[in-house]
Structure 1
Amino acid sequence: MNEERYCHSKISMAILGTGAWGSALSTLAAANGYHIKLWSRRSCQTLTEVVKDADIILSAVSMKGVRDIISQLQLVKISPKTILVTATKGLDPQTTCTPSQIWQKAFLKNPVVVLSGPNLSKEIQKGLPAATVVASKIDGVAEMVQLIFSSYRFRVYTNHDPLGVELGGTLKNVIAIAAGVCDGLELGTNAKAALVTRGLAEMVRVGVDWGAQQDTFYGLSGLGDLLATCNSPLSRNYQVGYQLASGKKLSEIIENLEGTAEGVNTTQVLVRRARVQKISIPIAEQVHRLLQAEISPQQALWELMQRDVKAEYE
Structure 2
Amino acid sequence: MVTTSPSADALHQVFEDYKHRQVNLTILGAGAWGSALAHIANTNDHQVRIWSRRSELSLEDAVAGAEVIVSAISMKGVPEVVNRLKALHIPETTVLVTATKGLDPETTLTPSQIFQRAFPNHAVTVLSGPNLSKEIEAGLPAATVIACTNETAAEAVQHVFACDNFRTYRSTDPLGAELGGTLKNVIAIAVGVCEGLDLGSNARSALITRALPEVMRIGTHLGGQPETFLGLSGLGDMLATCTSALSRNYRVGYGLSQGKSLEQILVELGSTAEGVNTSHVLMAIAQREQISVPISQQVHLLLNGEISAEEAVAALMERKLKAEDYQEVLQPDS
Same fold (TM over 0.5): yes
Deviation at 1:7, TM superposition (A): 5.3
What is the alpha-carbon distance in structure 1 between the residues aligned to residue 61 and residue 51 of structure 2? 9
User: What residue in structure 2 maps to residue 69 of structure 1?
Assistant: 81
Give the partner amino acid of 2:168: V
Give the partner amino acid of 1:122: K
Deviations 1:139-175 (A, max 9, x none): 2111100001111100000001101000000000000
What is the alpha-carbon distance in structure 1 between the residues aligned to residue 112 and residue 22 of structure 2? 26
1:8/1:34 contact within 8 Å kept: no
User: What residue in structure 1 maps to residue 269 of structure 2?
Assistant: 257
Give the partner amino acid of 1:159: S
Q: Does 1:26 align with 2:38?
A: yes
What is the alpha-carbon distance in structure 2 between the residues aligned to residue 165 and residue 17 of structure 1? 21
What is the alpha-carbon distance in structure 2 between the residues aligned to residue 116 and residue 92 of structure 1? 17
Deviations 1:280-305 (A, max 9, x none): 11000000000000000000111110
Q: Does 1:151 align with 2:197?
A: no
User: What residue in structure 1 maps to residue 217 of structure 2?
Assistant: 205
What is the alpha-carbon distance in structure 1 between the residues aligned to residue 216 and residue 323 of structure 2? 16
Q: Does 1:2 align with 2:19?
A: no
Aligned residue among 83, 91, 103 for 1:79: 91
What is the 5 A alignment of 1:1-314? 1-3=12-14, 5-6=17-18, 8-313=20-325, 314=328
What is the alpha-carbon distance in structure 2 between the residues aligned to residue 139 and residue 51 of structure 1? 23
Deviations 1:153-211 (A, max 9, x none): 00000001101000000000000000000000000000000000111110000011111
Give the partner amino acid of 1:179: V
Residues 289 and 55 (structure 1), Cα distance of their counterparts in 2 relative to 1, 3 Å cut: same
Give the partner amino acid of 2:216: V
- What is the percent sequence identity of the aligned residues? 56
Aligned residue for 2:48, secondary structure, equals: strand
Give the partner amino acid of 1:232: S
RMSD after superposition: 1.0
What is the alpha-carbon distance in structure 2 between the residues aligned to residue 43 and residue 11 of structure 1? 22
Deviation at 1:308, TM superposition (A): 0.7
What is the alpha-carbon distance in structure 2 between the residues aligned to residue 179 and residue 10 of structure 1? 41
1:13/1:35 contact within 8 Å kept: yes
What is the alpha-carbon distance in structure 2 between the residues aligned to residue 5 and residue 53 of structure 1? 16
Give the partner amino acid of 2:284: R
What is the alpha-carbon distance in structure 1 between the residues aligned to residue 273 and residue 199 of structure 2? 23
Deviation at 1:8, TM superposition (A): 4.4
TM normalised by structure 1 equals 0.98
Deviation at 1:10, TM superposition (A): 4.9
Deviation at 1:101, TM superposition (A): 0.2
Residues 148 and 10 (structure 1), Cα distance of their counterparts in 2 relative to 1, 3 Å cut: closer
Residues 79 and 289 (structure 1), Cα distance of their counterparts in 2 relative to 1, 3 Å cut: same
1:5/1:11 contact within 8 Å kept: no
User: Please, which moves more after superposition, 3-12 or 254-263?
Assistant: 3-12
TM normalised by structure 2 equals 0.92
2:180/2:215 contact within 8 Å kept: yes
2:71/2:97 contact within 8 Å kept: yes
What is the alpha-carbon distance in structure 1 between the residues aligned to residue 95 and residue 84 of structure 2? 17
**Any unmatched runs of 5+ in structure 2?**
1-11, 329-334
1:130/1:154 contact within 8 Å kept: yes
What is the alpha-carbon distance in structure 2 between the residues aligned to residue 213 and residue 54 of structure 1? 31
Aligned residue for 2:103, secondary structure, equals: coil
What is the alpha-carbon distance in structure 2 between the residues aligned to residue 207 and residue 7 of structure 1? 31
